[in-house]
Amino acid sequence: EPEVTQTPSHQVTQMGQEVILRCVPISNHLYFYWYRQILGQKVEFLVSFYNNEISEKSEIFDDQFSVERPDGSNFTLKIRSTKLEDSAMYFCASSKTYGAGNEQFFGPGTRLTVL
Amino acid sequence: AQSVAQPEDQVNVAEGNPLTVKCTYSVSGNPYLFWYVQYPNRGLQFLLKYITGDNLVKGSYGFEAEFNKSQTSFHLKKPSALVSDSALYFCALTGFQKLVFGTGTRLLVSP
């Protein structure tokens, strides 16, 4: 069964450093998403991406964040200058279809720790 | 604004007993509701969804959920719990693209 994969599983970085979180969505999916979960809090939407463009983003997704699909398989989330409050579990997801009721498939997550 | 509430941080049930994990929602317009499960070191796995139609939705692993519009609820149920059902369960809704999640409920099924 196809799965969304994410690397690394755990990333530790110093405050102010740039990090890139990587995801490989399911191969025939066209819509991609990033979510994050701060420890003990809700899973929160960050951004959705389709056809090489951001289609929706939350207020969390500020100028420090960017997403890219650099090739036909990877989908990346970059945080330019990490802050302590960026420490969280980051989940990538993908879906085949678009719109209400679409089923999103999630990866196992990357735990980001900012020191 | 859309929101989902899961009032219980943890639900404990004995194996073989029925289980219910509660979820209530707030949304303007038609709700599109989901349940996801998270096992340790795994991503969120889709269990079931309600879009329209029958209020009782059947999903994976013997789970089902009952949509109740008057109570704005979408409780997850299973007639007979298994120890392997122990996991973190998330209720979510979607308006169009993004999923809005509840805080999650940890289900512990004891042997």
A68-101 pLDDT per residue, tens: 998 878 999 999 999 999 999 999 999 998 777 7
- CA separation for the pair B90, B52 (Å, rounded): 20
Region B66-89 average pLDDT: 96
- CA separation for the pair A77, A75 (Å, rounded): 7
Contact A60/B at CB under 8 A: no
pLDDT band at B13 (very low <50, low <70, confident <90, very high): very high
- Residue B103 Cα, gap to closest chain A Cα (Å): 5
Distance of CA B105 to the CA centre of its chain: 9
Residue from the list B44, B98, B100 with its beta carbon closest to the beta carbon of A106: B44
What does the pLDDT read at residue A101? 74
What does the pLDDT read at residue B98? 87
With a cut of 50, which residues of chain A have pLDDT below it?
A: none
- CA separation for the pair A108, B41 (Å, rounded): 6
Region B46-54 average pLDDT: 90
Among chain B residues, the shortest Cα distance to A96 is held by B97
Residue from the list A42, A55, A91 with its beta carbon closest to the beta carbon of B97: A55
What are the start-end ranges of the E strands in chain A? 5-7, 10-13, 19-24, 31-37, 43-50, 53-57, 65-68, 75-79, 88-95, 105-106, 110-114
Residue from the list A41, A58, A108 with its beta carbon closest to the beta carbon of B43: A108
Among chain A residues, the shortest Cα distance to B49 is held by A101
Contact A75/B at CB under 8 A: no
